[in-house]
Amino acid sequence: MATTTHTRTADTALTAAEKAFELLTCEPAPLVFDARPVPGLPDKTMPLDELRRLLMFERYDSTTTDELWRQMAHHAREWGPAWVVGAIGVALPALTHLAAKISRGYARHADDVDSEVLAGFLQALRTADLAPPRLWLRLCWAAWRAGAAVVKPDDGEELPLDLSSGSRSPRMPYGHPDLLLGRAAAAGLITTEAAELISATRFGDALIEHLAAEQGVTASALRMRRRRAERIVAAAVTRGELSGPIHSSIRREATMAA
């Protein structure tokens, strides 16, 4: 979960959440987390800001991360608003990083992206199934999908006054890989699970052998599943289907192909 914090210059949903977290973790009575039941974490209780620093600068395997976020989600669901703020605060470095990546090149949407990233994470924190593995990844994916939905091309934008009358190259259908995967999943071209598999193993640090063991399948079967999904996404990028709004015809074709 190690990541860096990006500075926000304006008051947004994420900066407001950070201020609330600071109040929650200040002396003389900071909110503390019992890390003793979580394998891999120090055998003690610790203030949530200390826990956040630990997660930012140390790397933990999926077993530790999953159990940590199961505990955090249980607390947020059962122990009241303070733990909702606390869980969000622990996740804020990653959420801020995600929001910055989504809003890069879309500065005017940055506030909305921050709000939707936070809302997506909070919704998943309250409703996600806590039993399956890769819980932290699933929470982050929910936040990413919510934020990415904000920066879809706006068909109602006016043309700039200095638009050249000559021909222009079409906008390239590229983007951040996770954004393309999210759009492919939203269009029904691949499943959310396939998108998470590609993201975790191609752009994250997850090993396909570990994921295969968690899911009870062979690594070769999981590689084949990933390869099929990657070919579908590559073909969609080549056709330009992931660069604009996701049309219902794409969903119908995906359904028929499935």
Mean pLDDT, all residues of the chain:
79
CA distances from 205 to 141, 144, 198, 202, 224 (A): 15, 18, 11, 8, 19
Residue 128 has pLDDT above 60, yes or no: yes
pLDDT value, residue 244: 53
Reported as a single tens digit per residue, the pLDDT across 64-99 is 999 999 999 999 999 989 999 999 999 999 999 989
pTM for the predicted model, two decimal places: 0.61
Locus of tokens 């390239």: 172
Residue 28: is the preceding peptide bond cis (ω within 30°)? Answer: yes
Q: If residue 32 lies in a helix (H) or strand (E), which one and from where to where? A: strand 32-34
pLDDT of amino acid 78:
95
- Quick check: 155 pLDDT over 80? no
24, 30 in Cβ contact below 8 A? Answer: yes
> How far, CA to CA in Å, does 80 sit from each of 83, 84, 212?
6, 7, 36
Q: pLDDT at residue 126 above 50?
A: yes
pLDDT per residue over 39-71, tens digit each?
999 999 999 999 999 999 888 888 899 999 999
Distance CA 230, CA 236 (A): 10
